[in-house]
């Protein structure tokens, strides 16, 4: 039985095929790809808000499965899922850079391992994550001795501290919300983040160069300008540094200067 377009009461609609042309690639356009934790409700908005308006930028996302409870075991479990999740961003999109949005998992797995797995899906692409981005950001800001703010429990904090120290940073003190539930971490207020960075744990000592806020789920963009104003010292975070580093690797040269000292560089 042949079925015609349209209802029994309506006449068949005439469909005309029309040709089209393809727009030529904009050589100035930059393409960023970001692998986001399933439980993260912060990083996509913060990274997108950091993108410049001076040139066209595309931002693609893919979500990787993870557990709401952050622990060494749940972080390690992501290693086998990283390549297929990266592959969900089609290689045909030709991203200039791929970012992996998890600080603690990167510290556990190692930056080289993360990059190697992602390049199985995107050969030759530039790769970054919050650990590499943090080191680059701290170097740019002249931060060697830092105060660390995290939401993690003590076992994860120990790995973060040891990892940062092994990479040349002097972690002077740690202030943690000690909240293992990623859902709750994503709802922590700006005031709480500022309090942790500026006042808790004896405040920011005169000889400390600045603040690093670890965790991509922990909201930080609104807090960073406030922290810098109250302390007179630079601050950055997992998302703040990652967004900046992705843009640098993609060849973006003009940043949103309202986002703090790092973006004014």
- pLDDT digits 0-9 by tens, 227-258: 999 999 999 999 999 999 999 999 998 898 89
The pLDDT of residue 4 is 52
Q: How far apart are CA 173 and CA 54, in angstroms?
A: 38
Looking at residue 58, its pLDDT comes to 94
Q: How many Cα atoms are found within 13 Å in the side-chain-facing hemisphere of 216?
A: 30
* pLDDT of res. 30: 93
* Across 129-133, 174-178, 200-204, least confident range: 200-204
Q: What is the pLDDT of residue 15?
A: 85
Selected from 3.40.50.1860, 1.10.3720.10, 3.40.50.1820, 1.20.58.100, the CATH number assigned to the domain covering 136-237 reads 3.40.50.1860
Q: Would you say how long the chain is, in residues?
A: 265
Domain with CATH 3.40.50.1860 in the chain: 136-237
pLDDT of residue 68: 85
Q: What is the mean pLDDT of the chain?
A: 92
Whether 9 shows a pLDDT value over 70: the answer reads no
Listed in order, the ranges of the chain carrying CATH 3.40.50.12500 are 30-131+243-264
Kindly report whether the global pTM for this prediction surpasses the value 0.85. yes
CB 179 within 8 A of CB 68: no
Q: Does domain 30-131+243-264 have CATH number 3.40.50.12500?
A: yes
pLDDT tens for each residue of 33-59: 999 999 999 999 999 999 998 889 999
Contacting residues for 77 by C-beta, under 8 A, at least 6 apart: 66, 67
So what's the pLDDT on residue 141? 97
The percentage of the chain sitting over the pLDDT mark of 90, rounded to a whole number, equals: 75
Provide mean pLDDT across the span 198-210. 92
Question: Residue-wise over 125-162: b if at least 16 C-beta within 10 A, else e?
Answer: bbbbbbbbbbbbbbebbebeebbbbbbbbeebbeebbe
């Amino acid at each position: 039985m042949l079925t015609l377009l349209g209802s029994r009461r309506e006449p068949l609609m005439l469909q005309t095929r029309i040709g089209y042309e393809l727009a030529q690639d904009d050589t100035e356009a930059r393409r960023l790809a970001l692998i986001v934790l399933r439980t993260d409700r912060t990083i996509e908005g913060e990274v997108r808000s950091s993108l410049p308006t001076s040139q066209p930028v595309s931002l693609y996302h893919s979500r990787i499965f993870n557990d709401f409870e952050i622990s060494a075991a749940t972080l390690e479990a992501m290693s086998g899922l990283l390549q297929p999740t990266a592959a969900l961003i089609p290689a045909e999109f030709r991203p200039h850079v791929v970012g992996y949005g998890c600080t603690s998992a990167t510290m556990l797995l190692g930056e080289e391992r993360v990059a190697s797995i992602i390049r199985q899906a995107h050969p030759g692409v530039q790769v970054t994550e919050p650990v590499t981005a943090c080191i680059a950001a701290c170097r740019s800001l002249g931060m060697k001795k830092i105060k660390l703010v995290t939401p993690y429990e003590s076992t994860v904090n120990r790995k973060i501290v040891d990892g940062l120290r092994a990479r040349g940073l002097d972690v002077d003190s740690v202030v943690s919300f000690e909240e293992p539930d990623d859902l709750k971490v994503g709802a922590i207020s700006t005031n709480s983040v500022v309090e942790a960075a500026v006042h808790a744990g004896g405040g920011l000592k005169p000889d400390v160069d600045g603040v690093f806020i670890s965790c991509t789920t922990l909201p930080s963009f609104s807090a960073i300008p406030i922290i810098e104003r109250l302390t007179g010292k630079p601050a950055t975070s997992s998302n703040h540094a990652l967004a900046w580093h992705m843009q640098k690797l993609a060849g973006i040269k003009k940043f949103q200067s309202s986002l703090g000292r790092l973006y004014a560089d």
